[in-house]
Amino acid sequence: MKYISTRGQVEAVDFQDAVLMGLADDGGLMIPRAIPDATDQLKAWANLSYPGLAFEILRRFTRDMPEHDLRLLIEKTYGPSYFINDTEPEDKRDVAPVVQVGDLFVLELWHGPTLAFKDVALQLLGNLFEYILERRGGKLNILGATSGDTGSAAIYGCRGRRGIDIFVMHPHGRVSPIQEHQMTSVPDANVHNIAVEGSFDDCQNIMKSLAGDLIFKRQYSLGAVNSVNWARVLAQIVYYFYGAFNVLRRTGAKAVRVSVPTGNFGDVLAGWYAMKMGAPIRQLILATNENDILARFYNTGEYSLGEKVVQTLSPSMDIQVASNFERYLYYRVGGNARRLREMMAEFSRTGSLRVKPGENGLVDADFAAARADTQQVLETIETYYKQHEYVFDPHTACGVAAAEQLKDRDLPILCLATAHPAKFPAAIAQATGRDDLARHPAIDAMMHLPTRCKILPNSKQAVREYIIETLG
């Protein structure tokens, strides 16, 4: 399987090169040249374990890796180390268990080390980086900027890996105490937290300008772990199959609809790839909070910037421009890279682009979309707690609220649970009036650990010097 860029100006490369490249060299995103058809495999795959299924799916996209190596890599990724902070008994451990809550099914994706779904992909990516570096030699220095949540999953993905150092910037004093502890209590020598005396945007600007300095980038082998990396999308395809199979077994239904709380469009895009491969998924329900550019797109065909980012209870969905949307648009314009370049240029110029609805009047029958505002999210958390004693985190609640709006009698709905509620105790307390519901022993324990963090002024030069000094 070769990989190409959505903008069509990069020579086709193998999987491992696409992983190292991250963002394509022409500014586009890397995608597989073809989407494998798994329709004939569904029976054989339906009862596989999570690692077994991951192997079957990944091997179709990773032809440049020996199958034996891939199997070991997957077993290492989703083995005991994945569950270090999980509270399930050993024989019940599952990367993506399904629980029924009322008439919805919930796919719990937060059993990994940082209690959020990003672990599913970032644990694999860390192992992949290590594997590739071991065989090719060399080092990788990951530089990231986080407003809170992604940083910890990236740090846990890279901690202790040979050949990798990771530097994560966060805005000093502007992330929640839990988020800060999750990042700064990791003791591994290859993890470097930087608190920048500025905003998240300042952190991101420093990252972009350092990564854009090609001499510095080459000299210090800078890499990225953000969600444009193809390996992250690929890892997430697996749980769409796995969750759908589970619901089919329980209900006897022929297909499911899957509700996905969406920010950067990485997660729901993985669901779309799963559908195109033949997973028994009829439709994706795309859920947003007040930052609803994507929900508006799927309801009107117009993708246009809103006023500015609104801060909500679901911070990982507080996003204006969804970086993975370009991959979807590429397919939408029939794989015409030139047309896509025009559309992206138009969007940069005007803050808006549009596609024509199909003959059925829909923008895309594969997607239904809805927005859930803060009030609806709080009500959803409260109602499900009162009626079912199940506590959703605010991101998951957004997806559940969208599913409620778009429910039909036909097909069961699987809602992706993207974070454990204990990561967002203030929102849970606000919704339920109780501060004892959102607890997790791993979070409680972590709050007492010693922390390490370098505080730096809001300056690219200061961060650059710190990196150089640290790497010696």
Ligand X SMILES: *Cc1c(COP(=O)(O)O)cnc(C)c1O
Task: Give the residue with the Cβ less far from ligand X, 55 or 325.
Answer: 325
Torsion from C-alpha of 397, 245, 97, 178, nearest 10 degrees: -40
- From the list 2, 76, 92, 118, the catalytic residue is 118
CA-based nearest residue to 299, from 413, 150, 405: 405
In the list 266, 271, 280, 421, the residue contacting ligand X (rule: CB under 6 A) is 266
From residue 267 to residue 306, what is the string marking binding to ligand X with x (rule CB under 6 A)? x---------------------------------------
- In this chain, which stretch among 6-14, 78-86, 265-273, 361-369 interacts with ligand X, using CB under 6 A? 265-273
Q: How far is the CB of 288 from ligand X (least distance, A)?
A: 9
From residue 11 to residue 50, what is the string marking binding to ligand X with x (rule CB under 6 A)? ----------------------------------------
Q: Is 425 in the site for ligand X (CB under 6 A)?
A: no
Active site residue 454: no
How is residue 276 written in tokens?
């195109």
- In this chain, which stretch among 26-34, 255-263, 304-312, 403-411 interacts with ligand X, using CB under 6 A? 255-263
Give residues with Cβ within 8 angstroms of 135, minimum separation 6: none
What are the CA-CA distances from residue 243 to residues 87, 95, 178, 280 (Å)? 21, 11, 29, 10
What are the CA-CA distances from residue 31 to residues 19, 110, 330, 387 (Å)? 11, 27, 10, 43
Q: Is 316 in the site for ligand X (CB under 6 A)?
A: yes
Which residues from 382-411 bind ligand X, rule CB under 6 A?
395
- In this chain, which stretch among 18-26, 122-130, 217-225, 261-269 interacts with ligand X, using CB under 6 A? 261-269
In the list 112, 144, 261, 280, the residue contacting ligand X (rule: CB under 6 A) is 261
Q: How far is the CB of 119 from ligand X (least distance, A)?
A: 10
- In this chain, which stretch among 172-180, 196-204, 205-213, 256-264 interacts with ligand X, using CB under 6 A? 256-264
Task: Give the residue with the Cβ less far from ligand X, 132 or 419.
Answer: 419
Q: How far is the CB of 138 from ligand X (least distance, A)?
A: 29
Contact 112, 123 (CB under 8 A): yes
Task: Give the residue with the Cβ less far from ligand X, 55 or 240.
Answer: 240
Task: Give the residue with the Cβ less far from ligand X, 243 or 263.
Answer: 263
Q: Is 262 in the site for ligand X (CB under 6 A)?
A: yes
Q: Is 418 in the site for ligand X (CB under 6 A)?
A: yes
Q: How far is the CB of 89 from ligand X (least distance, A)?
A: 25
The neighbour count for residue 206, using CB atoms within 10 Å, is 24
In the list 28, 151, 163, 263, the residue contacting ligand X (rule: CB under 6 A) is 263
Q: Is 419 in the site for ligand X (CB under 6 A)?
A: yes
Q: How far is the CB of 396 from ligand X (least distance, A)?
A: 7
Q: How far is the CB of 246 from ligand X (least distance, A)?
A: 20
In the list 225, 317, 378, 402, the residue contacting ligand X (rule: CB under 6 A) is 317
Q: How far is the CB of 265 from ligand X (least distance, A)?
A: 5
Give the count of residues interacting with ligand X (CB under 6 A). Answer: 16
How is residue 88 written in tokens?
């399930």
Task: Give the residue with the Cβ less far from ligand X, 77 or 418.
Answer: 418
Task: Give the residue with the Cβ less far from ligand X, 4 or 154.
Answer: 154
Q: Is 62 in the site for ligand X (CB under 6 A)?
A: no
In the list 62, 85, 264, 312, the residue contacting ligand X (rule: CB under 6 A) is 264
HEC profile of the chain: CCEEECCCCCCCECHHHHHHHCECCCCCEEEECCCCCCHHHHHHHCCCCHHHHHHHHHHCCCCCCCHHHHHHHHHHHCCHHHHCCCCCCHHHCCCCCEEEECCEEEEECCCCCCCECHHHHHHHHHHHHHHHHHHHCCCEEEEEECCCHHHHHHHHHHCCCCCEEEEEEEECCCCCHHHHHHHHCCCCCCEEEEEEECCHHHHHHHHHHHHCCHHHHHHCCEECCCCCCHHHHHHHHHHHHHHHHHHHHHHCCCCEEEEEECCCCHHHHHHHHHHHHCCCEEEEEEEECCCCHHHHHHHHCEEECCCCCCCCCCHHHCCCCCCCHHHHHHHHCCCCHHHHHHHHHHHHHHCEEECCCCCCCCCCCCEEEEECCHHHHHHHHHHHHHHHCCCCCHHHHHHHHHHHHHCCCCCCEEEEECECHHHCHHHHHHHHCCCCCCCCHHHHHHCCCCCCCEEEECCHHHHHHHHHHHHC
Task: Give the residue with the Cβ less far from ligand X, 266 or 425.
Answer: 266
Which residues from 117-176 bind ligand X, rule CB under 6 A?
118, 149
Q: Is 265 in the site for ligand X (CB under 6 A)?
A: yes
- Per CB under 6 A, residues contacting ligand X are 116, 118, 149, 227, 261-267, 316-317, 395, 418-419
Active site residues: 118
